[in-house]
Amino acid sequence: MKQRVRNIFNALDQPVDAILLKNGTEPFLDDNFFYITGLIHGLFEGSYAVLFSDGSIDLLTTALEAESAKKTEAALHVYTTKEDREGILKPLIGSLKIIGMNFSGLSHQDFTLLQQLCPSAHFVDVSKSFSSVRLIKDSEELNRIKTACNIADAAMEKIPEFIHEGLHEYELAAEINYLMQNHGAEKPSFDTISSFGKNSAEPHYSHGDATLKKHDFVLCDFGATYQRYASDITRTFVYGSANQKQKDMHETVLRAQNIAFDCIRPGVKATEIHQAVSMFIDSTSFKGCFTHSTGHSLGLAVHDGAGFNQSSDVILKENMVFTVEPGVYIPGFGGVRIEDDILITKNGMERLTKSSQELREI
């Protein structure tokens, strides 16, 4: 963990005396807190981490989380009351002149309290440093992401066994979530999407009470969380035989994904990947039917700070992890999305999710 902290300081735009992270309360927990401590279990609500340029960390937490906190390399301070907490925190940061903060993960209320505790300090936003460093995964992160991808693949393989006429969307979502946890996931990495028929034309549809009918699209978009790291995969099936329009949609999306794969390598601008995919889809009969970005970075968060989109200024580098997920959506008819997780390698990319991408008629 010390190297992660040093990397964050090396990425700063301006020097700071220390960096202070305040972990909020669920659901406003700061992924950066878990990134620099390496902690897997626990919520650590209301905990603080003080980071120094030599890689050292002081961790302040409650007695509730003390046992879990012992699993980190940080110097541990346990408090029981607000007065205890301030009595520990003030000697650590009270005399500092410039303190870095992750403003993107800090509430106004918490910031006001810190200003009162350190009235002479100047607080600066260092959130970009966290984002840029977290884009490059180390070996431990990659191992966890790969395991999360393997779990998602294992669940995807079993989905056809549960498909039958009259199945509810929410029933399939429940089966998918069970399959992932049965294969070692802590939980789904986001609200599982299982959409049938015309509902599949809504990219961020979750799952409702629609029932499956013959010739419906079955779009399944889900991910597993393994030791806090996420995977994200989508496949689109057809229940029964697919008609020509459904086949054409699927073929177009699959070709678009392969175009993206061919473009991905270190040194390429992330926006170029999206442009290549979008231009291809718009050259087909499905012009205007691709309505979202081509993918996003993946890690502790499902959307981990960067993406393949038209405004991205990210330059691809080795050991970045992204999703690649083109889609075609026709309101009132249905949609097709194919999504895989990929690792950028020295000379290209590696597909981390291995499920078959061919159209499957169930």
Rg (CA), the chain: 23
Name the amino acid, one letter, at 258. N
How far apart, in whole angstroms, are the C-alpha atoms of residue 24 and residue 34? 12
pLDDT for 188-237, tens place per residue?
Answer: 999 999 999 999 999 999 999 999 999 999 999 999 999 999 999 999 99
pLDDT for 252-264, tens place per residue?
Answer: 999 999 999 999 9
pLDDT score for 25: 87
pLDDT score for 26: 84
For CA atoms 200, 201, 206, 210, give the dihedral sign.
negative
How far apart, in whole angstroms, are the C-alpha atoms of residue 294 and residue 270? 10
pTM: 0.95
Residue 337: count of CB within 10 angstroms of its CB: 25
How far apart, in whole angstroms, are the C-alpha atoms of residue 344 and residue 342? 7
pLDDT score for 27: 83
Nearest CA-CA partner of 333 in 253, 238, 256, 254? 238
Q: Which residues contact 326 (CB under 8 A, 6 or more apart)?
A: 253, 256, 257, 260, 277, 281, 290, 294, 337, 338
Class of CATH domain 139-351 = alpha beta
pLDDT by 10s per residue, the chain, length 362: 899 999 999 999 999 999 999 998 888 899 999 999 999 999 999 999 999 999 999 999 999 999 999 999 899 999 999 899 999 999 999 899 999 999 998 999 889 989 988 999 999 999 999 999 999 999 999 999 999 999 999 999 999 999 999 999 999 999 999 999 999 999 999 999 999 999 999 999 999 999 999 999 999 999 999 999 999 999 999 999 999 999 999 999 999 999 999 999 999 999 999 999 999 999 999 999 999 999 999 999 999 989 999 999 999 999 999 999 999 999 999 999 999 999 999 999 999 999 999 999 99
Cα–Cα distance list, 284 to 217, 264, 325 (Å): 21, 22, 17
How far apart, in whole angstroms, are the C-alpha atoms of residue 178 and residue 185? 9
pLDDT score for 319: 98
Q: Which residues contact 337 (CB under 8 A, 6 or more apart)?
A: 203, 219, 221, 234, 236, 253, 325, 326, 327
Nearest CA-CA partner of 117 in 142, 89, 97? 89
Which residue intervals of the chain bear CATH 3.40.350.10?
Answer: 2-135
57-62 and 75-79 strand pairing:
parallel
Which residue intervals of the chain bear CATH 3.90.230.10?
Answer: 139-351
> Which CATH architecture does the domain made up of 2-135 adopt?
3-Layer(aba) Sandwich (3.40)
